[in-house]
Amino acid sequence: MAETDSSSREDLALIRARVEQKRRDYINYDFSRKKNDILKTFFDLAQEFDSLDDLYRICVAVPLEAFGVESRLYLRGEDGGLDLVCDSERGVREPPEPCLGYVYLADEPYEAGGSYLVPVQTKPLRTSVTPEFADTLQVIGMFEVYPLVKLTSSDKFFFTKYTNRIGYNLRKRLLAQQNVRHLQFINNLVSDIEHNVIVPNMYYKHLFKQLKKRIDDLSSLAEMVERYGAEKQDSEMCRHIVGQLGEIRSRLLDSYQEIDKHHANLSLFLESLFRRDHFQEGRLVLHPQVCKLERDIILPQLGHYQKRMAARGITIDKPNDMEGEEVEIQVDFGLLSQVYANLFSNVLKYAETIIDHQGRPRKAVAYGRTILTDCFGPGLAGIKLNVFSTGRPLPEAEAANIFKDGFMGANRASDFSRGHGLAFVKYVIELHGGRVGYESTAEGNNFYFVLPFLSIHR
């Protein structure tokens, strides 16, 4: 907390320094009251009108009304060249027109064609730009004021500052336009996902049914061979064939069940992540329903990791505190399932063998729950849900940052790790009105989350 307060004070000090610098700048500019009023007029109108075309019109209308001079606004086109987008004589040019021959991009103002031309500069419009270039100004156009003979040296200086405000406001509008296109793309993407991913994913069900039918055909064939052997008195060979068929059938059935479970889980995750609501709202939207916690969520997710855990020598300790009862909670079934999937996935990556309090080696995962009375206020209970794994406790610095998006500890599991899983867990739990946490124990690490509690049915 102290570190956060110090950073906040430094940020405030930086802003105060900029305020003082700006105040001194305006004293040095020594603009007349009329010129200051012109800047205020431009600022007010830029806030009043919403469209990009209206901003173009404001840019050229203010100098005409205030100074009686004409102006033209040029911006970079898609090909990188300059296009005339608006002028004070005819308004917005639709489509944009090629620039006049004497106009070219430049980092500094220049005089040409009886006009004064000033670069329109902004910070980068791309959100993906690297941090070291985030504050670098780039020239996106030119602002032309004419006739030159009407402009004093003071007027020219004023128009450099006026054009700076054009660049600032243009950037806001262009970013907003870019965001609108992004949202339109996302909405189209949702339709594409529904059509190209979720619906075709359902075809797997058809394939699974066909696979199951082939498995049943093997069973029928085994019965046929067995009957044939009995009739032909060649039972030893037939028993061998039937045994082989049975083994093939058993393996096929195991594969079928594994694929079927994986498909069902993937379908659940796809549905809960690619809902249209998420994209329309710009955030995850919960679809809560009442679930049996262990039966519906924990055990199915643990089942997906059970074989891999066994292969790595990780035992599963069932909780005594959930024995013989079903905890009922109201949650988003698909999203909470992914919370447990992330936690069990981390167990698979990071669980370590320790020597337990009885002096025996132990490499294990455990889950459980604790009811917390008045957790969310008087009479509002919470349920603390734990996923524990054996291993060395996290260093204090890592423990403090473990739920931050992109954070990866020193024991990063693989090059494919992106440090996103626990941030996702935190986001989903907080959407449910809960909170997440980590605690070290004598034998390992416990990741937990607390949710509002509905009821227990025995």
Cα 163–168–172 angle (5° rounding)?
Answer: 140
Q: For residue 134, report the phi and psi dihedrals to the nearest 5 degrees.
A: -65, -30
Residue 392 has pLDDT above 90, yes or no: yes
As beta bridge partners, residue 86 has: 73, 92
Residue 61 has pLDDT above 90, yes or no: yes
What's the whole-number mean pLDDT along residues 332-337?
Answer: 93
What's the whole-number mean pLDDT along residues 118-128?
Answer: 76
The Cα–Cα gap between 261 and 29 comes to 72
In 3D space, the residue among 66, 61, 50 whose CA is nearest the CA of residue 169 turns out to be: 50
pLDDT digits (tens, 9 = 90+) for 240-272: 777 777 788 787 888 778 788 877 888 888 888
**Greater confidence, 127 or 253?**
253
Element (H, E) at 79: none
Q: Give residue 324's pLDDT band: very low, low, confident or very high (50, 70, 90).
A: low
Q: Give residue 129's pLDDT band: very low, low, confident or very high (50, 70, 90).
A: very low
* Range among 77-81, 226-230, 435-439 with highest mean pLDDT value: 435-439
What's the whole-number mean pLDDT along residues 17-22?
Answer: 80
- Any idea which of 5-19, 41-55, 99-113, 225-239 has the lowest mean pLDDT? 225-239
What's the whole-number mean pLDDT along residues 49-72?
Answer: 93
What's the whole-number mean pLDDT along residues 286-297?
Answer: 92
Percent of residues, the chain, with pLDDT higher than 70: 86
- Any idea which of 199-203, 357-361, 369-373, 436-440 has the lowest mean pLDDT? 199-203
The Cα–Cα gap between 164 and 352 comes to 59
At residue 346, what is the residue type? N
Residue 29 has pLDDT above 80, yes or no: no
| pLDDT of the residue at 111 | 96
Q: Is the dihedral of CA 421, 426, 429, 430 positive or negative?
A: negative
pLDDT digits (tens, 9 = 90+) for 185-209: 676 656 656 555 565 566 667 677 7
| pLDDT of the residue at 229 | 65
| pLDDT of the residue at 130 | 46
Q: Give residue 57's pLDDT band: very low, low, confident or very high (50, 70, 90).
A: very high
- Other beta carbons less than 10 A from residue 357's beta carbon: 9
Domain ranges, ordered by start, for the chain? 1-30, 32-181, 202-274, 283-457
What's the whole-number mean pLDDT along residues 48-55?
Answer: 90
Residue position matching structure tokens 């699974």: 208
**Greater confidence, 351 or 171?**
351
Asked, colleague to colleague, whether 32-181 and 283-457 share their fold, the answer is no
Q: Give residue 458's pLDDT band: very low, low, confident or very high (50, 70, 90).
A: very low
Query: CA–CA distance from 334 to each of 40, 190, 211, 295, 347 (Å)?
Result: 52, 18, 27, 14, 20
Domain 283-457 falls under CATH 3.40.50.720: no
The Cα–Cα gap between 1 and 428 comes to 24
pTM to 2 decimal places:
0.58
Tell the burial category of 129 from Cβ atoms under 10 Å away from its Cβ (0-12, 13-18, 19+): middle
Q: Give residue 230's pLDDT band: very low, low, confident or very high (50, 70, 90).
A: low
**Greater confidence, 139 or 22?**
139
Q: Give residue 330's pLDDT band: very low, low, confident or very high (50, 70, 90).
A: very high
Helices (H) and strands (E) in the chain, counts: 12, 16
Residue 441 has pLDDT above 80, yes or no: yes
What's the whole-number mean pLDDT along residues 267-292?
Answer: 84
**Alpha-carbon 338 to chain mean position:** 15
Q: Give residue 217's pLDDT band: very low, low, confident or very high (50, 70, 90).
A: confident
In 3D space, the residue among 55, 92, 93, 87 whose CA is nearest the CA of residue 71 turns out to be: 87
Q: Give residue 457's pLDDT band: very low, low, confident or very high (50, 70, 90).
A: very low
Cα 213–216–222 angle (5° rounding)?
Answer: 145
User: What is the chain's mean pLDDT, rounded?
Assistant: 84
DSSP per position, 374-401: TTTSTT--EEEEEEEEESPPPPHHHHHH
Q: Give residue 456's pLDDT band: very low, low, confident or very high (50, 70, 90).
A: very low
Measure CA of the first residue to CA of the last residue in the chain; give whole Å. Answer: 43
The topology (CATH level 3) of 32-181 is Beta-Lactamase (3.30.450)
pLDDT digits (tens, 9 = 90+) for 407-416: 777 665 554 4
Q: Give residue 343's pLDDT band: very low, low, confident or very high (50, 70, 90).
A: very high
